[in-house]
Amino acid sequence: MTDLSQEPTAAGDTRGRVAELHAIREQVRRGPSERATEAQHAKGKLTARERIGLLLDPDSFREVEPLRRHRATGFGLEGKKPYTDGVVTGWGTVEGRTVFVYAHDFRIFGGALGEAHAAKIHKIMDMAIAAGAPLVSLNDGAGARIQEGVVALAGYGGIFQRNTKASGVIPQISVMLGPCAGGAAYSPALTDFVFMVRETAQMFITGPDVVKAVTGEEISQNGLGGAEVHAATSGVAHFAYDDEATCLEEVRYLLSMLPANNRENPPAAQSADPAGRRCEALLDLVPADGNRPYDMRAVIEEIVDDGEVLEVHERWATNILCVLARLDGQVVGIVANQPSVLAGVLDIEASEKAARFVQMCDAFNIPIVTLLDVPGFLPGVDQEHGGIIRHGAKLLYAYCNATVPRVSVVLRKAYGGAYIVMDSQSIGADVTYAWPTNEIAVMGAEGAANVIFRRRIAAADDPDETRAELVKEYKAELMHPYYAAERGLVDDVIDPADTRTVLVDTLAMLRNKHADLPARKHGNPPQ
């Protein structure tokens, strides 16, 4: 095969020049060498173009600057100037809708970023912002190109600046398919969603060798920054999959639920699931006894169209669920406590997870449904010292700042500050409902009785019997299912089986909701 680094030869006529062009394009398409391609496949990884082929609709990709080459000299670079400079950029369609993409080609300079490489990414990011279309990055690179020095680092700065400019304007999705080390890891962290492939993808600021040299700790690349770590421990990755094909198919599914930009609504779809379908199963799924756990996922799947959900951060902060789904064909974001994990309490990580999800939904015009069954914030020294006040305030701020339609449903417990934070009517929920099993209160009846009647209980001949009687009295007076409704704190108490119908009708009413925010550059949310 012809060496990609050689200069094109002059052709005598137009046909000759066209033939030369096609020959060069074929070289670009095939990549640096068959050996490099085989090495990529041997690692269980696809090439950049194979990945783009899985992401985009067939024959829809239009490449930008395929003939770009670097201008660097020294360290042997002047003799190695492959086309594309190690990154494939362009646009195509996903289910007929325009999507921009760039993909690192690990076969060329290990996918490392140099000046020309960065310029191509900057250009495609600018095009995505100008066109108002999603941007997907397929990451498989070895960081900055050391031979080009600080120029390569400046290239990252340009990417970060554009990530920030595009934030909340167009959906940005990072797909981690190989290594991503050092400053390069900050670009995915600035985007809306991060996908990772197990075993082959890693993200870390300092690698295992540096960690060992500085701290003495020995750890593998996957143990330090693999997909499992970031999906379940750090929360950096929203999704993790076993192979690239499945991962890219799920990226396509996510894109089908997102608008092209912040000026559009998410795409609607025809649903064969009747909007008025009664959910009789809910009567058995959720125990009336507030101390008995259940799986909130089953509740969500019963309510939404065809039981289909896309759960975000499925393995991180599992005491709260953040889900994208459809109701009568319309995309909704669902935030729900998970009683089967830590009784559904809010803690630092759950607050951060839900706050980020609420902000994303609000940015891209996705209505928010909140399902409450929350006993409060998780008590403990670690939580207080870790800043639960600050982190819990992130969720409060996100809800208060959201202008999309917001509907909340109290299934069972809704106690204390956690009730307020989880999109209560008092912080701006448009419509609030409750099931007849709801308990909305400052705290549980037992705890309340112990505080209010502690002297009577202590002075009683039989403290346990007295406590039980007073708990019963407190429940009857202040915690019966209609207490909040009688005081206008919920708009209605509904039959659980009607939840789907009620949500569909309410969201249809709110579809053209308009809310004005005060003039400001931006808020100053808790950090």
Q: Evaluate the CA torsion angle 421, 484, 496, 512 in order and state its sign.
A: negative
> Are residue 307 and residue 454 in the same domain, yes or no?
no
Q: Are residues 377 and 460 in the same domain?
A: no
In a domain, 527, yes or no: no
Q: 310 lies in a domain?
A: yes
Are residues 487 and 449 part of one domain?
no
Q: Is residue 361 part of a domain?
A: yes
**pLDDT tier at 437, thresholds 50, 70, 90:** very high
Quick one: 20 and 49 in the same domain? Answer: yes
Active site residue 155: no
Torsion angle, alpha carbons of 360, 366, 371, 376, to 10: 30
Q: Please indicate, yes or no, whether residues 220 and 325 belong to a single structural domain of this protein.
A: no
- Residue 5, pLDDT > 50, answer no
Cα separations in angstroms, 130 against 268, 419, 466, 504? 24, 41, 70, 34
Kindly state the average pLDDT of the residues 6-32: 81
Tell whether the model's pLDDT for residue 192 goes beyond 90. Answer: yes
Q: Reply yes or no on whether 182 is catalytic.
A: yes
* Residue 523, in any domain of the structure: no
| Burial (Cβ within 10 Å: 0-12, 13-18, ≥19) of residue 466 | middle
* Residue in 132, 168, 182, 387 annotated catalytic: 182
Whether residues 235 and 296 fall in one domain: no
Q: Which of 192, 225, 257 delimits the end of a domain?
A: 257
Q: Which helix (H) or strand (E) holds 320?
A: strand 320-327
Residue 525 inside a domain? The answer is: no
Percent above pLDDT 90 for the chain: 70
Could you tell me the pTM of the whole model?
Answer: 0.92
CB contact set of 452 (below 8 Å; sequence gap of 6+)? 470, 474
Residues 476 and 491 in one domain: no
Does 5 reside within a domain?
Answer: no
Q: Which of 220-224, 359-363, 494-498 has the lowest mean pLDDT?
A: 220-224
Active site residue 225: no
Same domain (yes/no): 319, 182: no
Mean pLDDT along residues 130-156: 88
Q: Which residues form the domain of 454?
A: 443-480
Banded model confidence at residue 239, pLDDT cuts 50, 70, 90: very high
Residue tagged active-site, from 53, 132, 183, 447: 183
Model pLDDT for residues 21-78, shown as the tens digit of each residue? 999 888 888 888 899 899 999 999 999 999 999 999 999 999 999 988 877 767 777 7
The answer to whether residue 268 is catalytic is no
Domain boundary among 257, 273, 300: 257
> Does residue 206 share a domain with residue 124?
yes
pLDDT band at 236 (very low <50, low <70, confident <90, very high): very high
Where residue 234 sits, what CATH number does that domain have?
3.90.226.10
Q: What is the pLDDT of residue 206?
A: 86
Per-residue pLDDT, 10 = 55
Same domain, 469 and 493: no
Task: Name the residue with higher pLDDT: 3 or 507.
Answer: 507
The residue from 329, 386, 417, 428 that is catalytic is: 417
Q: How many domains does the chain have?
A: 3
Is the pLDDT reported for residue 309 higher than 90?
A: yes
Query: d(Cα 419, Cα 441) in Å, to the nearest integer?
Result: 8
> Is residue 478's pLDDT more than 70?
no
Residue 268: other Cβ atoms inside 10 A: 11
Query: Is 263 part of a structural domain of the chain?
Result: no
The pLDDT value given to residue 12: 67
CA angle, corner 327, sides to 323 and 330, nearest 5? 95
Whether pLDDT at 132 is above 90 = yes
Structure tokens at 42: 């041997």
Same domain, 334 and 301: yes
Cα 490 to Cα 502: distance, rounded to the nearest angstrom:
14
Q: Please indicate, yes or no, if residue 517 is contained in any of the structural domains.
A: no
Q: Are residues 20 and 148 in the same domain?
A: yes
Work out the mean pLDDT of the chain and round it to a whole number: 91
CA distances (Å), origin 450, targets 345, 377, 444: 21, 19, 10
Q: Which of 72, 237, 398, 418 is catalytic?
A: 418
Residue whose C-alpha is closest to residue 467's, from 444, 494, 437, 485: 444
